[in-house]
Chains A and B, each alone.
Chain A
Amino acid sequence: MDLSYTAEELAFRDEVRDFLEKNLPQEMSDAVRDGRSLGKAGHDRWHAILNERGWLAPNWPREFGGCEWSAVQRFLFEEECCRAHAPRIVPFGLTMLGPVLQRFGSPDQKDRFLPRILSGEDWWCQGYSEPGAGSDLASLKTKAVRDGDHYVVNGQKTWTTLGQYANWIFCLVRTDSTVKQQEGISFLLIDMNTPGIEVRPIILLDGTHEVNEVWFTDVRVPVENLVGEENKGWTYAKYLLTHERTNIAGVGFSQAGLDAVKRMARVEMSGGRPLIENPHFAARLARVEIDLMAMATTNLRIISRAAAGQAPGVESSMLKVKGTIIRQEINDLARRAAGIYAMPFASEEVEGGNEPPVGPDGSGPVSAQYFNNRKLSIFGGSNEVQRNIIAKVKLGGGA
């Protein structure tokens, strides 16, 4: 065993660091650090900067314009991006749909859609969940009925993240309701500008508009937008979910979050001393840092095993559960560090206004982030569902 990075890996990390120093706009990293939203234009801009360098699609094969990086390279890249407060890459096109099209899409679909994901021409969103189909995704009801060379889609999707910015949505739809639930689902690509689609905002508890309801009324979708075979959508959906969960540990986010808590705790005073010297706070901080150090290694162990060809199964569920617990604990510590300044509702900051914040640096968005990140243990397969998976695998069919 060797816990150190190779010389090549270190050189790669330096290259990434250098690139970020030169190319990540200051106002953008400030916004990310302060928890302000970037809006569509901000995301598009960062996306374009990365694309120009050829670093937009770490997980894609080269033939489609990806980097084909090793698992370690991807990890290092993510870590450096988080450290530099680079915006998160919106995952729907790049990490979710891309791999599905590369594996199951028709040649036409690959030619048509993959380049436009890289160029930023298309913004994709994920139409999986429905009001009655959350954890039990296979019970979805949105219907697609074949009519000549179109499908006619009716139904409702919900929790569609950043659907307000998207011009395309990939949807799971029911094409056969006479068979076992999983066997009657298809995977459709739908142009959001098609008549009959309505996007309605859902405002989350921290005041942000991040998710939406998407309604379909007699929406006509050309049959060439079906991915793979009709009624085989569940297979593709599951394949996508394994990709959705690849970066689920969020080690880089946690590290950046921990650094932010420490920064705040160095200036916040408690009993006349910096909070970071308060034994009780220091102990909590140390505990989560210890967890995170181990998590980083767990993450590397699992991704390197995956790189060696062993599919991550139950391990990705473990990463998700532990990773989200750690991130949420760090959010809680940030809130504690801010003290009474955790109470203001920093709406201006979140929405990108220019009122100066009232608390110590970085305190403005801590409570909003704490509440917003409750989502981490709910979406992408809730932590309870992940625990079911872990137990089932480890205990055998009985669970």
Chain B
Amino acid sequence: MNFDLTEERQMLQDTLRRFLSDRYTTDVRNRIIDSDTGFSTELWAQLAELGIVGALFSEAQGGFGGAGFDITTVFEELGRAGVVEPFLDTAILGGGLVASLGNADQQVLVERVIAGDLHLALAHSEPTARYDLNRVMVSATVSGDAVRLKGRKSVVVNAEAAEFLIVSARESGAVDDCDGISLFLVPRETAGVIVRGYPLLAGGRAAEVEFEDVVVPESARLGTAGTAYTALAERAAAASVALAAETLGAMETATELTRGYLQTRQQFGRPIGSFQALQHRMADLWIEMEQARSATINAAGHLADQPHMRDLHVAAARNLIGRAGRLVAEDTIQLHGGIAMTREYELAHIAKRIVMADHRFGDTDYQLEQFIALSA
């Protein structure tokens, strides 16, 4: 066994860490979060130029990575710096789905994603679906060579910036069948697509998207009709690996900030880190972080496995990270006292990233249920 990063990934990590620690300061980030777009197009372009987007795609797809450990390498650094730019949405989800299902014409979009001049969003969640991947009610009805889309998608992250929404819709089957789901590339500007945007608590923006009799040509479909579930599940697993790594990176920042604070903050005439009550809390956090790292490695290493094995490890990792993440977010705030509750202090943002990541693609409890089902 070998737990070292390959030379390429080590370089990727170093480059990204250096760039972000120079450029992605708390000040810059808070300004980005407050902006109308919710992310920086300038930084996006620079990061794409550094190859960060390309690292999330395989060579066959036009990138130079794309495996589980490429994803964790990138996302751990993004998490460490509290980056709000939509790497998950444009690259892992949007770009990933086009890359795995798209025909030759559609693949052109992947090139644009890698080059940094196209944004995408996956419009999949629905108001009553919660985290179930197979529960799709938005309907797609074919008439002639056109498809009519009808229904509503909720909390579509990055929808406003996306040139295309990748919309899941049901062409056949019951509401929770895995079969019968298709994906469509829908230009956001299409008539009948109503996007109502809002900021997210942990940075970035999302939208409620209504499809009021939206008509797209059949050529907008990604892959063959009714068979998108497999690719969706595979990308959800990749997104989960990314979220696990991002959270792990954020947890590292949270504990580092806390370590520094405990060593310098004086109360009762000594550093608060000299109180054993706080030392033991920190020790527990570090123990949990090692576990979180291992769980992330497990999930990344099994990302290319058969769906059952893949999802088992993904569910395990997300459940563990969800628990450890909550502990780290809450305890690091607590150990700081009031100062960590202020918007300006870096930990506030980092803690929000950690906790809010749990709400994407299934929270701790949902992952536990998945794990129980898969391991039975």
- Are A345 and B201 neighbours in the complex by a CB distance under 8 Å? yes
Q: Are B337 and A135 interface neighbours, CB within 8 A? A: yes
B194 within 8 A of A: no
* Chain B residues numbered 265-285 whose CB sits less than 8 Å from any CB in chain A: 266-269, 275, 277-278
A374 close to B334 (CB less than 8 A): yes
B359 with A205: CB separation less than 8 A: no
A372 and B337 alpha carbons, distance in the complex (Å):
13
Please measure, in the bound complex, the distance between the C-alpha atom of A387 and the C-alpha atom of B348, giving whole angstroms. Answer: 25
Which residues of A have CB within 8 Å of B199? Answer: 344-345, 347
Could you say which residues of chain B place their CB within 8 Å of the CB of A377?
334
Assess the B360–A204 pair: CB atoms within 8 A. Answer: no
> Is the pair B200, A344 in contact by a Cβ cutoff of 8 Å?
yes
Bound-complex Cα distance A347 to B198 (A): 9
Determine the residue in chain A with the shortest Cβ distance to B131. Answer: A339
Do residues B155 and A340 form an inter-chain contact, with CB atoms below 8 A? yes
**Interface contact tally, CB-CB below 8 A:** 139
Q: How far is the CB of B348 from chain A (nearest CB, A)?
A: 4
How far is A368 from B127 in the complex, measured between Cα atoms in Å? 20
**A135-B267, A203-B342 given as contacts; is B128 within 8 A of A343 (CB)?**
no
Cβ < 8 Å to B, chain A residues 345-398: 345, 347, 358-360, 367-368, 370-372, 374-375, 377-379, 382-384, 387-388
A159 touches B338 (CB 8 A): yes
Q: CB distance B198 to A284 under 8 Å?
A: no
The CA of A205 and the CA of B368, in the complex, are separated in Å by: 29
How far does the alpha carbon of A326 sit from the alpha carbon of B258 in the complex, in Å?
A: 25
Q: How far is the CB of B231 from chain A (nearest CB, A)?
A: 21
Residues of A within 8 A of B326 (CB): 332
Least CB separation from A355: chain B residue:
B198
> Is B201 in contact with A269, judged by CB distance below 8 angstroms?
no
Return the CB mask of B335-376 against A: 1 if under 8 Å, else 0.
Answer: 001101111100011011001100110011100110000000
Q: Kindly report which residue of chain A lies nearest to residue B281, judged by CB atoms.
A: A384
Decide: A202 near B342, CB < 8 A? Known: A280-B368, A341-B155, A344-B199.
Answer: yes
Residues in A with CB closer than 8 Å to B338 are 129, 134, 158-159, 211, 375, 378-379
A114-130 interface bits toward B, Cβ cutoff 8 Å, 1 = contact, 0 = none: 00000000000000010
Name A347's closest neighbour in chain B (CB-CB): B199
| B178 nearest CB across to chain A (Å) | 14
Cβ of A340 and Cβ of B130 under 8 Å apart? yes
Contacts of A335 in B (CB 8 A): 355, 359
- Confirm or deny: B179 has a beta carbon within 8 angstroms of a beta carbon on chain A: no
* A132→B271 CA distance, assembly (Å): 12
B351 touches A205 (CB 8 A): yes
**A342 located at the interface, meaning its Cβ lies under 8 Å from any Cβ of chain B in the complex:** yes
Question: Counting CB contacts under 8 A, is A39 at the interface?
Answer: no
Judged by a CB distance under 8 angstroms, whether B176 is at the interface is yes
Q: Which residues of A contact B368 (CB under 8 A)?
A: 280
Q: Is the CB–CB distance between A204 and B342 below 8 Å?
A: yes
A interface residues with partner B (beta carbon < 8 Å): 129, 132, 134-136, 139, 158-159, 202-207, 211, 268-272, 275, 280-281, 284, 328, 332, 335-336, 339-345, 347, 358-360, 367-368, 370-372, 374-375, 377-379, 382-384, 387-388
Q: 9 A-B contacts, Cβ less than 8 Å apart?
A: A135-B337, A136-B269, A205-B341, A339-B363, A358-B208, A370-B355, A371-B351, A384-B277, A388-B277
8 further A-B pairs in the complex, CB-CB below 8 A; given A135-B337, A270-B132, A272-B175: A205-B340, A205-B343, A206-B201, A340-B130, A343-B201, A345-B198, A374-B341, A388-B277
